[in-house]
Amino acid sequence: MGKLIVSLSPHAHGTDTVERNMYGVIIALLPALLVSFYFFGIGSAIVCATSVAACVLFEWAINKFMLKNERTTICDGSAVLTGLLLGFNLPSNLPIWIIIIGALFAIGVGKMTFGGLGGNLFNPALVGRAALLVAFPAQMTTWPKVGQLTSYLDAETGATPLSIMKDAIKNGDASLLNQLPDSMSLFLGNHPDGAGATGEICALALLIGFVYMLWKKIITWHIPVSIIGTIFVFAGLLHLANPVYADPISVILSGGLMLGAIFMATDYVTSPMTPKGQLIYGVAIGFLTIVIRNWGAYPEGMSFAILIMNAFTPLINTYVKPKRFGEVPAKK
């Protein structure tokens, strides 16, 4: 017999559930998933399927054999979502055994170590990606070109737009930026030398998912818009000061920026709860992304920026905590 919970008024009823939100985000990711199949073919299918299956398996095994939980959590969609996001952050030629290691870090370290969904401090998919980037830097920075639909481990690789931008800054040669695809090609992902992670290749597909989540009220605009707006401003100022830095449109449409801003920084558990806190969080992620991309060791900075700000989320929540109804400000 279920327990009757009695609490003080007011009482509010909502239709939100973990399952509804998780599967809503998965639906929003479907356009990007289909586009990744179109551009990367069998490589994308293998990477994403392996990542999702491994994440679900590890969550089930940890719950059953280590935590001894009678109720399984693999049906709430969170493990599937983590696996899909992890797969989206990986090259489409990554060996299966490396993907499985990444899934183990994502679920075992990033999620279940903290008690499972709702307790994790860091975004689990990004924990898995960061672990693989540190452990297997060569494999994690080798990017297949688009259009090799039947190739997997033997796919031809190429330079990403971010690596071109990095070379231009490193060599102090703005002419290297002429190798960048035009903005429309970056927006659609349809350029012959295109290379990048499985799920970040097409900004249009990610924006379709963004609009869907706003429509369904799964997320709000605050974090994605503050991240993209901050990066636009700082990248624009750098470009005006020195043309060796790429223009802000190319910066926004390159790499995992759109994927991170829309689908990873907005994670309920690891992002601030209030609109003001989300704006602070988004501005900080945007600034850190620019700093890491331009002057860090790796061309991409979005993942590390999000993980850094995940650690500051409890502090931001404390700083912008709304006043309780009827609370009288303390006298100085």
Give pLDDT, residue 156: 79
Give pLDDT, residue 123: 95
Task: Find out whether the peptide bond into 10 is cis, omega within 30 degrees of 0.
Answer: yes
Mean pLDDT of the residues in the chain: 88
Give pLDDT, residue 214: 96
Give the model's confidence band at 158: pLDDT under 50 very low, under 70 low, under 90 confident, else very high.
Answer: confident
> CA torsion, points 263, 319, 322, 22, in degrees to nearest 10?
20
Model confidence over 279-288: pLDDT tens digits?
Answer: 999 999 999 9
CA–centroid distance for 308 within its chain:
13
User: What do you get for the CA distance between the two ends of the chain, in Å?
Assistant: 52
Cβ 208 vs Cβ 263: under 8 Å: no
Domain residue ranges of the chain, discontinuous segments joined by +:
18-140, 163-317
User: What pTM was estimated for this model as a whole?
Assistant: 0.90
Residues in the chain: 332
Give pLDDT, residue 27: 95
Strand partners, 136: none
Give pLDDT, residue 72: 76
Backbone angles phi, psi at 273, to 5 degrees: -90, -30
**At 99, which amino acid appears?**
I
Residue 2 has pLDDT above 60, yes or no: no
**At 226, which amino acid appears?**
S
C-alpha separations of 149 from 43, 226, 319 in Å: 7, 36, 50
Task: Find out whether the peptide bond into 31 is cis, omega within 30 degrees of 0.
Answer: no
Give pLDDT, residue 9: 45
Residue 52 has pLDDT above 90, yes or no: yes
Angle, helices 96-104/124-135, rounded to nearest 10 degrees: 130
C-alpha separations of 134 from 72, 179, 298, 313 in Å: 31, 28, 11, 24
Among 1-15, 151-165, 253-267, which stretch is predicted with the lowest mean pLDDT?
1-15
Angle among Cα 59, 64, 70 to the nearest 5 degrees reads 115
When pLDDT is averaged across residues 80-107 and rounded to a whole number, the result is: 95
Model confidence over 237-254: pLDDT tens digits?
Answer: 999 999 999 999 999 999
